[in-house]
Amino acid sequence: MAKARKPLKRKTPLKRTPLKRTATKKKRKPVGSVAALKKKAWELCSRAIRLEARESDGLVTCITCGVRLPWNRGIQAGHFIDGRYNAILFDERGIHPQCMGCNVMLNGRKEEYFVFMEGKYGREVIDELRRQRNQSRSFTAEELEVMIVNFKQRIDRWLGRFGP
């Protein structure tokens, strides 16, 4: 039988001091880093995709469910192949407008997206994108800067044509 232990007693009671909250600083990536440029390029790519799919009334149709929403509210640039692999991250054949419900809540509605892709591009492009997904690809800062300039020009052209 185990011997019963006495509870520990403090000589002085614990002080009740409020917790000190320290501001947590997020580590910022350097402005010109490849990661920061890649993020900026993706933001502009997404915007260009949505703007170019915009109709004259300013609405964009989700390719998987058909809902029509403003290009800058509720519409996202959804990838046909998940994972944001570098090899296909900016391949516009696999990026199309989807509503947030389809893209995020319903994981891209892959069956409907496949039907759309097969009708628009054919099976060869689908197979090519699937092959590219497994290839290794890295971007240089210069490549990303060129992409950023090109996306900005496309966005300016579309905003000039239809307005914001």
Is residue 107 situated within a structural domain? yes
Domain that holds residue 72: 59-154
Is residue 110 situated within a structural domain? yes
**pLDDT, the chain, mean:** 87
How many structural domains compose the chain?
1
Is residue 95 situated within a structural domain? yes
Structural tokens at position 59: 């609405």
Are 81 and 33 in contact by the 8 Å Cβ rule? The answer is no
What pTM, to 2 d.p., does this model score? 0.76
**Which residues have C-beta within 8 Å of that of residue 73, sequence separation ≥ 6?**
none
Is residue 33 situated within a structural domain? no
- How high is the pLDDT of residue 123? 96
Is residue 129 situated within a structural domain? yes
Average confidence (pLDDT) over 76-97: 90
Is residue 136 situated within a structural domain? yes
